Amino acid sequence: MHKRKLGNSNLEVSALGLGCMGMSFGYGPPADKKEMISLIRTAVERGITFFDTAEVYGPFTNEELVGEALAPLRDQVVIATKFGFKPDPNGAPRWSGLDSSPDHIKQVAEASLKRLKTDVIDLFYQHRVDPNVPIEDTAGAVKDLIQQGKVKHFGLSEAGVQTIRRAHKVQPVTALQSEYSLWWREPEAEVIPTLEELGIGFVPFSPLGKGFLTGKIGQDTQFDKTDFRNVVPRFTPENRKTNQALVDLIGTFAQQKKATPAQIALAWLLAQKPWIVPIPGTTKLHRLEENLAATTVELTPEDLRQLESAASKIPLQGARYPEELQKLVGR
C-alpha cells in the first residue's frame, strides 16, 4: 500500500483509510463487535494505517470498538476522531446541537482518549462548525491539547473556506474531511484550491456515494429502518433511478479497465491530488479487499478526461442531506 502525506504536515498515512462509522451507526443495526475487531485488524495487515471514528458514532460505541481493535497495533496506525456535538442532557443516545466551546473540547478529548485506549489522538477534527463559538477559540483549544501532548494534529470537517483560513492562522490545519466523489464534486470550486494553497490534506468521506457508486444499490433497494439513507433526498427511489446514469457510466469504464465500479470511483479520487486520502467504510472483508485493489487501478490523463467529460453531462437529482443537516455544512 502506497503512503500519502496530508498536505504540508508530516502526517503520513496509507493512500486509503478506513471509515469505521458504519460498523456501529448510520447504516442499519450495529455489526457484530468481534467480527468488526477482526476486520479492523485485517485492514492493518493489508496495509491500512488510517482509521476514522468520532464520539457521535453510536454515540461512543464506535470509538470503543476502534480503541479495542487497535490497542495491540497502536504504534502502527493513525487514529482520527472528532468533537463538536452536544450530548443529549437526558442521557438519550442522540445529540442536541453543537458545542465547540474550549472547555467542552477538552472534556471530549479526555473521554475519547479513554475510549480509544490511547494517550494521544493523532488527528482531532471539529465535526461541524459551531456558529456560536469563534473558530479561533476552537482552534486555540486544540492548540492547547497539542501543546499538552494529547493531540498531534488539528482537522476540520465540512467547513467553508473562510473558516478554514481563520482556523489555520491560529493552529495549522492538517486535514479537511468533507464529502467528495464523482457523485458530489462541489469541493472542486473553492475548497480544493484553498487546501492546495494552504498545504492542507483532504480526506473525502462517502467516496463511494454512501454505497451508491458501487452499482449494488438500485431503484428498488430497501434500506433498514435505522439506515440514514432513508432521509437523504438523493436516495429516494425516483432520484436513484435518475442518478443510475452516473453509475452506469462508471460501470462502463470499470469493464474497460477490468475493475469494479467502486475501484474506478476510488481510483478517480486518488488521481485528483497526491494529498487526497479517501476513507471508504465497510463491514465486509470482500469489500475491504475490493477497495484496497483500487490503489492499483491506473487511470491515464485521457481516461480521466473522458470520465469527467461524460460525467459532467449527466444531470444528478436530489440534495445530499436533508435540510436541517445541510445547514451544518460549508460554514
71-108 core/surface letters (b: 16 or more CB in 10 A; e: else) = eeeeeebbbbbbbbbebeeeeeeebeebbbbbebbbeb
Q: Is 27 a catalytic residue?
A: no
Q: Which of 3, 2, 6 is nearest to 196 (CA)?
A: 6
Alpha carbons within 13 A on the beta-carbon side of 12: 6
Tell me the three cell numbers of residue 173: 490545519
d(CA 39, CA 210): 19
Residue 325 is inside which H or E element, if any?
A: helix 323-326
Show Cβ contacts of residue 104 under 8 Å, excluding neighbours closer than 6 positions.
Answer: 83, 86
Show Cβ contacts of residue 168 under 8 Å, excluding neighbours closer than 6 positions.
Answer: 139, 198, 200
d(CA 233, CA 221): 15
- 201 CB burial (10 A radius; 0-12, 13-18, 19+): buried
**Which amino acid is present at 308?**
E
Q: One of 57, 125, 180, 321 is an active-site residue; which one? A: 57
Q: Which residues are catalytic?
A: 57
